[in-house]
Structure 1
Amino acid sequence: MTIWQVLGIPPTGDEAEIRRAYAQQLKTHRPDKDPGGYQQLREAFDAAKQQAGSGATPVHLDIRHPSSAPAVEVALPEAKTFYTAEEMQALAHKLVNTEMVGIVAMNGLCIKIASQGSLLQQQQFHQHLAAALSEEQGLTEGLLDRVSGLLGWGIEEYDYSYIIPGPIQYAIQQRLRETEINRAWLQMATEEAHGSLLSKTAIRLLKSDYQQVPFWVRLTPGLPQALLNQAQRFTSYYPEIAERLNPVMLEFLRLKRLMLSWQGIFLLVFWGMAFNSLSRQPDIHHAASITAIVIVIFYLYLSDVLMMGLSGRPRWLSGFFFLDFLLSLAVIQLFFGGIFFAAVVSIPPSGHGPMALVSLLAILVLGIVFWAAWPKDVPFIRKPGITISRIFSSPWKLLEWMSFSWFSAIWTLLYFTLCVAVLSELLKLFK
Structure 2
Amino acid sequence: MSIWQTLGITQTKDEKEIRRAYARQVKKYRPDSHPEEYQQLREAFEEAKRYAAYAIYDDESADDEYVEEQANIDVDVPHLESLLHQEAVNEEAVNDDQQQQELSEIRITYPFSDVLLDDYQPSINELPVVETAYTQELIDWLAKLFIIDENAAKRELVELWENVSQKGSLQTHQQFHQDFAWALSEQEGLTEAVVEHVSSLLGWRLDEYNSEQIIPFYIQNALTEQLRQTEVARAWKQCQIDAVHGDYIVSQSLRVLTSKNEKVSYKVRLIPGLIPQIAEQVKQRTSEYPELKDKFNPAILSFIQQPRLAFNWRGVFLCIFWGLLLNMVATQPDVNSGVAIVAGVIILFYLFFNDLIMFGLHSRKKAFTVFLVSEFFITLFVILIFFLGLSGVLLFFITGLDIGPAHGAQAMVIFILMWLFWYAWPKDKPSIRRPGIMMYRMFASPWKFLEYFKFSWFSLVWLVIIYLIYYSAMHNLLKYCTEFLVN
1:9-44 deviation line (CA, Å, top 9, x unaligned): xxxxxxxxxxxxxxxx9xx889999998x999xxxx
CA contact (8 A) 1:346 1:356 kept: no
Alignment-mate amino acid for residue 393 of structure 1: A
Q: How far is the alpha carbon of 1:164 from its aligned partner?
A: 3.4
More helix by share: 2
CA contact (8 A) 2:240 2:258 kept: no
What is aligned with 2:241?
A: 190
CA contact (8 A) 1:96 1:139 kept: yes
Q: How far is the alpha carbon of 1:85 from its aligned partner?
A: 1.8
Q: How far is the alpha carbon of 1:132 from its aligned partner?
A: 1.3
What is aligned with 1:57?
A: none
CA contact (8 A) 2:270 2:310 kept: yes
* Higher relative contact order (Cα pairs below 8 Å, separated by 6+ residues): 1
Unaligned runs of 5+ in 2: 1-11, 31-40, 49-128
What is aligned with 2:182?
A: 131
Give the % identical residues: 37
Q: How far is the alpha carbon of 1:324 from its aligned partner?
A: 3.8
CA contact (8 A) 2:186 2:226 kept: yes
What is aligned with 1:420?
A: 471
Q: Is 1:256 aligned to 2:307, yes or no?
A: yes
Q: How far is the alpha carbon of 1:300 from its aligned partner?
A: 0.9
Q: How far is the alpha carbon of 1:301 from its aligned partner?
A: 0.5
Q: Is 1:277 aligned to 2:311, yes or no?
A: no
Q: How far is the alpha carbon of 1:137 from its aligned partner?
A: 1.6
CA gap 1:298/1:151 in 2 versus in 1, 3 angstroms: farther
What is aligned with 1:164?
A: 215
Q: How far is the alpha carbon of 1:416 from its aligned partner?
A: 1.1
User: Which residue among 379, 386, 391 is the counterpart of 2:437?
Assistant: 386
1:220-279 deviation line (CA, Å, top 9, x unaligned): 434444444445544565555455555544444444333222322221111111112222
What is aligned with 2:232?
A: 181
CA gap 1:108/1:302 in 2 versus in 1, 3 angstroms: same
What is aligned with 1:82?
A: 133
Counterpart mapping for 1:134-153 below 5 A: 134-148=185-199, 151=202, 153=204
Mapped to 2, the partners of 1:338 and 1:110 lie a distance apart of 90
CA gap 1:31/1:135 in 2 versus in 1, 3 angstroms: closer
What is aligned with 1:300?
A: 351
Q: Identify which range, 259-268 or 383-392, moves more after superposition.
A: 383-392
CA gap 1:347/1:392 in 2 versus in 1, 3 angstroms: closer
Mapped to 2, the partners of 1:147 and 1:171 lie a distance apart of 15
Mapped to 2, the partners of 1:101 and 1:4 lie a distance apart of 38
Mapped to 2, the partners of 1:358 and 1:100 lie a distance apart of 83
CA contact (8 A) 2:264 2:303 kept: yes
CA contact (8 A) 2:144 2:187 kept: yes
Q: CA RMSD in A?
A: 4.7
CA gap 1:409/1:346 in 2 versus in 1, 3 angstroms: closer
Mapped to 1, the partners of 2:355 and 2:130 lie a distance apart of 76
Q: Identify which range, 287-296 or 147-156, moves more after superposition.
A: 147-156
Q: Is 1:311 aligned to 2:362, yes or no?
A: yes
Alignment-mate amino acid for residue 417 of structure 1: L
Mapped to 2, the partners of 1:166 and 1:265 lie a distance apart of 58
Q: Which structure has the larger Rg?
A: 2
CA gap 1:267/1:4 in 2 versus in 1, 3 angstroms: closer
Mapped to 2, the partners of 1:376 and 1:403 lie a distance apart of 25
1:163-202 deviation line (CA, Å, top 9, x unaligned): 4345434433442333223222322332233223444444
CA gap 1:104/1:351 in 2 versus in 1, 3 angstroms: farther
CA gap 1:212/1:83 in 2 versus in 1, 3 angstroms: same
Mapped to 1, the partners of 2:210 and 2:407 lie a distance apart of 74
Mapped to 2, the partners of 1:369 and 1:114 lie a distance apart of 82
Mapped to 2, the partners of 1:169 and 1:143 lie a distance apart of 14
CA contact (8 A) 1:88 1:132 kept: yes
Q: Is 1:120 aligned to 2:171, yes or no?
A: yes
What is aligned with 1:268?
A: 319
Aligned to 1:136, what secondary structure does the other structure show? coil
Alignment-mate amino acid for residue 277 of structure 1: M
CA gap 1:206/1:4 in 2 versus in 1, 3 angstroms: closer
1:263-298 deviation line (CA, Å, top 9, x unaligned): 222211111111122223344455543443222111
Mapped to 1, the partners of 2:468 and 2:447 lie a distance apart of 15
CA contact (8 A) 2:271 2:311 kept: yes
Aligned residue pair count: 380
Q: How far is the alpha carbon of 1:98 from its aligned partner?
A: 4.1
Aligned to 2:190, what secondary structure does the other structure show? coil
Q: Identify which range, 257-266 or 98-107, moves more after superposition.
A: 98-107
Unaligned runs of 5+ in 1: 8-24, 41-77
Aligned to 1:88, what secondary structure does the other structure show? helix
What is aligned with 2:270?
A: 219
Q: Identify which range, 308-317 or 206-215, moves more after superposition.
A: 206-215
Mapped to 2, the partners of 1:280 and 1:287 lie a distance apart of 12
1:382-405 deviation line (CA, Å, top 9, x unaligned): 344333322222222333444444
CA contact (8 A) 1:373 1:387 kept: yes
1:73-129 deviation line (CA, Å, top 9, x unaligned): xxxxx9973322232223323434444554455456556655764443333233222
Alignment-mate amino acid for residue 308 of structure 2: R
